[in-house]
Amino acid sequence: MGSIFRFKRFEVEQSGCAMKINTDGVLLGALAQHPHPEHILDIGTGTGVIALMLAQRFDTARIDAVEIDAQAAERAHSNFSCSSFSGRLNTIQGSFEAIAAKGKYDLIVSNPPFYVNSLHNTNDRKKLARHTDHTFFQAMASFSAGALKENGILQLILPCELAMEVADMARAVGLVLVEEVRVKSYSNTEYIRSIISLTKGMPHKLIRTTLIIYDDKGVYSQSYRDLLRDFFLAF
């Protein structure tokens, strides 16, 4: 399999990135929502795929994509430069905590590391991409609470149990869980991921929906196909 992943309106070169394109990333890129985002931040952009998907979906939004790994940041910058959205995409190499962004963003998204307190990968770059601990999520929640505009939204994709833990951390800094999309591979299997939406303000009625990826082995569900129809060549 080649290192280039081709979408309908852009291509993503993955060589040099510890984490390749995966289902989590494309789900978040397709499901992240805001009524009219002017300024978006993608935390841990990796190859840049989520930022590119958001640039396609929100055709006037300006997107900052921050990546702590220098090699991945360089690859994302290259992918952005080769796309038709290059004028609205900006790569930042470094930590999100170093960004001066008070009240700047309408939407913050992240497909973050989530192997919390597990046996860490011995490969340093994969460890950086895959693993974290709870202090990372506490820092992200605190940063987002300050960096979001008044009606801004933070959206993350995580394993279900961790998603609820992160929602609790976010509530402590004034971000309220308003929506959860729970993802399962098949209708008769357990939930494997949650996409959570958190915003500033008073508690809302929580909206919960389910997305099923497959109808049968190797057969994508119609919901999944519809969600990614504008992106995947096969759909």
CATH number of residue 68's parent domain = 3.40.50.150
pLDDT surpasses 50 at 29: yes
Can you list the alpha helix ranges (DSSP code H) found in 103-133?
Answer: 124-130
- Does 233 map to a domain? no
CA distance 165 to 158: 10
CA dihedral for 27, 128, 62, 90, sign (positive or negative): negative
pLDDT surpasses 60 at 131: no
For residues 100 and 118, which has the higher predicted lDDT (pLDDT)? Answer: 100
> Among residues 139, 135, 185, which one has the least CA distance to residue 160?
185
CA distance 22 to 5: 11
Q: Is the CB of residue 182 less than 8 Å from the CB of residue 223?
A: no
| Integer Rg of the chain from CA | 17
> For position 201, what pLDDT does the model report?
76
pLDDT digits (tens, 9 = 90+) for 58-74: 999 999 999 999 999 99
- Does 125 map to a domain? yes
Confidence of residue 204 (pLDDT cuts 50, 70, 90): confident
Residue 201 in 3-state DSSP?
coil
DSSP-assigned letter for residue 185: S
Confidence of residue 132 (pLDDT cuts 50, 70, 90): low
pLDDT digits (tens, 9 = 90+) for 148-187: 999 999 999 999 999 999 999 999 999 999 999 999 999 9
CA distance 156 to 166: 9
What does pLDDT average to over the chain?
A: 92
> For position 37, what pLDDT does the model report?
98
As for how many domains the chain has, the answer is: 1
Q: Is the pTM of this model over 0.75?
A: yes
Give the type of residue at 217. K
CA distance 163 to 196: 7
The whole domain housing 77 covers: 4-228
- Does 130 map to a domain? yes
DSSP-assigned letter for residue 32: -
Residue 140 tokens, joined: 């992200």
Give Cα 43 to chain centroid, integer Å: 7
- Does 235 map to a domain? no
- Does 30 map to a domain? yes
> For position 129, what pLDDT does the model report?
44
Residue 205 in 3-state DSSP?
coil
Lowest-confidence region among 140-144, 154-158, 198-202: 198-202
For residues 103 and 231, which has the higher predicted lDDT (pLDDT)? Answer: 231
